[in-house]
Amino acid sequence: MDVTVLLYAFLILYPLLILWRYVHGKRDKDCYILDYECYKPTDDRKLDTEFSGEVILRNANLGLNEYKFLLKAIVSSGIGEQTYAPRIMFDGREENPTLEDGTSEMDEFFKDSIAKLLARSGVSAQEIDVLIVNVSMISAVPSLASRIINHYKMREDIKVFNLTGMGCSASLISVNIAQNILKTYKNVHALVVTSESLSPNWYSGNDRSMILANCLFRSGGCAILLTNKRSLKHRCMFKLKCLVRTHHGARDESYGCCIQREDDLGHLGFHLGKNLPKAGTRAFVDNLREIAPKILPVRELLRFMVLTIFIKKWNQSSTKGGSTGPKPVIDFKTGVDHFCVHTGGKAVIDGIGVNLDLSEYDLEPARMTLHRFGNTSASSLWYVLAYMEAKKRLKKGDRVLMISFGAGFKCNSCLWEVVRDLNDGNNAWNDCINEYPPDSLANPFMEKYGWINNEDPSTFVLPR
């Protein structure tokens, strides 16, 4: 009798034990954003039209044709007059940077944004369990992560990751690292720090594929505090639903389209190849193909599948010489409420808008971020997110899709769910959010420097 009771007890309790272990193992493995802080440099670092012209004229390797090319590029860039440059530009030393120029630029960001983030979140530097720093184009010894640890006197057992060379999509790589750690350890605070050091990376040559980078990139950065602490879930802002990374580095064409190299005269710069749009589109399509089933409702996936089959059969049976029917389009708005697009340039934003059939309302945060802050590399996504927050667009339950591109060539994307209504945003947009969107995004470069287009190369004299 006792054996029978024990057997029944085992048969009942053992499945319950397995179920409890499964549920318990799933708990505290989610990745939440507790808070984030976008860096806003001081006003004395603003790069207006007149000063931009002075910087360009300082480059003795440029001629009239290069001036015309730069004017066309900057006028159509979508960048305004409120963006920021490193201090070395205002000292007139951009062609002769030192190691200290690069590290001091980063220190200024670290000491401002991380301090503000920790103070607002109520988390001390000693409570940080994981530190992940991504700054692509500077490598210092000790690392930039070590500089942060030293300044804030963090714990000796902190887990540290210092990423370089990962390009504009690096912040989502950092989030992915944090996500994997939060799945393994409970009650963790992870600090992600993302920026770019422009001081050592000004191109002083005249290769058009490399001077273009001088027009697009601006100073910025963001510090993001992630956690899986159950006690803090009610205070968190976003929950990570999924993240997908696509890397086409094995393809020579993709690898070489966006690369740091020296020109024929030995000037170091960042080459943006003509095949960059093609490489970006390939990576983008492959990334969407993988993330779509993870974030879209089944009904939309079925609709797209049926539509694809129908159009394919219609094309095969069509007798109209070579004519094809419309291409099937998947509607990402069925599973996404807001689109956080990397501000790689106006063409990048336009291209994503066309491919995803997005409205101007959807693209407004990216366009305004490009205009106000420029392309701040891997931190750009967070300025776009901050714009949405400042505009009070983000409500509890909303889903935000982030899409980023980077050298390699890479396309990374992720989906966040808004955990609570975000109506009290206090971020880098506060002082100007009521001015956006402006009536026009046109910058005054053409008005001030348009006369260059009328100059004759045989008689042109550089103005001094």
Check if the beta carbon of residue 29 is closer than 8 Å to that of residue 178.
Answer: no
Beta bridge partners of 411: 246, 405
CB-side exposure of 283: number of CA atoms within 13 Å? 31
Please give the positions annotated as active site: 168, 247, 338, 342, 371, 375
Amino acid making up residue 411: C
* Cβ neighbours, 10 Å, residue 391: 17
Check if the beta carbon of residue 365 is closer than 8 Å to that of residue 72.
Answer: no
CB proximity list for 207: less than 8 A, separation 6 or greater: 263, 264, 267, 269, 271
| Separation of alpha carbons 148 and 106, rounded Å | 10
Both tokens of 428, joined, read 């880098």
Beta bridge partners of 416: 240, 400
- Name the residue among 182, 181, 112 with its Cα closest to residue 148: 112
Q: What is the three-class DSSP state of 459?
A: coil
| Separation of alpha carbons 33 and 415, rounded Å | 12
Burial (Cβ within 10 Å: 0-12, 13-18, ≥19) of residue 61: middle
